[in-house]
């Protein structure tokens, strides 16, 4: 989000993402909008120095960070530890580690991240670290071995609603905690189509109720 986050916030999402990776056309800078406390402000980073993340966490009062690079388990652990020491354990910071999938995935990679991340996020492997607009083969998640909740991401839009509804009724979605949407709902990079987001949410919720 870098154009109309307030409008998206009226839809009451659980998380709103702000990209702090400068090469991105969705790069966020400036003042953080006034958002309801129920929405978790999420900073998206790619192999950023720890000091940079810590500075953004405090400046924008972030509730979560999404790590889209090659961040190692030790990095995730140090990040959580330093945030806890700064905030005196009064306000936790959720760490969401992203893993990219194309045709298959070695879930053994996740083992060392289990204790240092709050969630995993599975995205489509592409030229850019996120926002590529393509879905991966969700059947890969039938092999998901963990009890760690995960976000499903990667090219999810109105055209994938039926597929998504089917997935959410399958055993592979047992640990699916959240649906992450981005480029398929954009009028321009960082500017979301509010009406399409409304349609998506209403359709998905009506099917789940």
* Per-residue pLDDT in tens (0 to 9) along the chain, 209 residues: 678 899 999 999 999 999 999 999 899 988 888 999 999 999 999 999 999 999 999 999 999 999 999 999 999 999 988 887 776 545 678 999 999 998 889 999 999 999 999 999 999 876 666 555 678 999 999 999 999 999 999 989 999 999 999 999 999 999 999 999 988 999 898 899 999 999 999 998 887 76
**DSSP code, position 85:** H
Find the domain containing 15 and state its range.
5-208
Cβ neighbours of residue 208 closer than 8 Å, sequence gap 6 or more:
168
**DSSP code, position 33:** P
Cβ neighbours of residue 49 closer than 8 Å, sequence gap 6 or more:
none
Looking at the 3D structure of the chain, how many domains does it have? 1
CATH code of the domain containing 37: 3.20.20.70
Classify residue 178 as left (phi > 0), alpha (psi -120 to 50) or beta.
beta
Q: Can you list the alpha helix ranges (DSSP code H) found in 127-189?
A: 161-168
- Grouping H, G, I as helix, E, B as strand and the rest as coil, residue 172 is helix
């Amino acid at each position: 989000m870098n154009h109309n986050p307030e409008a998206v916030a009226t839809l009451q999402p659980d998380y709103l993402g702000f990209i702090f990776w400068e090469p991105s056309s969705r790069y966020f800078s400036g003042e953080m909008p006034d958002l309801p406390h129920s929405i978790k402000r999420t900073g998206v980073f790619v192999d950023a120095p720890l000091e940079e993340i810590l500075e953004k966490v405090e400046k924008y009062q972030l509730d979560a960070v999404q790590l889209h690079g090659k961040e190692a388990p030790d990095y995730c652990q140090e990040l959580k530890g330093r945030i806890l020491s700064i905030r005196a354990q009064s306000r936790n910071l959720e760490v969401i580690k992203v893993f990219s999938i194309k045709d298959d995935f070695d879930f053994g990679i996740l083992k060392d991240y289990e204790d240092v991340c709050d969630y995993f996020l599975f995205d489509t492997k592409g030229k850019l670290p996120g926002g590529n607009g393509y879905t991966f083969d969700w059947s890969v998640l039938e092999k998901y071995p963990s009890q760690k909740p995960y976000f499903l991401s990667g090219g999810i839009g109105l055209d994938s609603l039926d597929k998504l509804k089917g997935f959410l009724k399958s055993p592979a979605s047992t640990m699916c905690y959240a649906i992450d949407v981005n480029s398929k709902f954009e009028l321009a990079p960082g500017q979301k189509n509010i009406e399409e987001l409304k349609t998506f949410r209403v359709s998905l919720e009506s099917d789940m109720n």
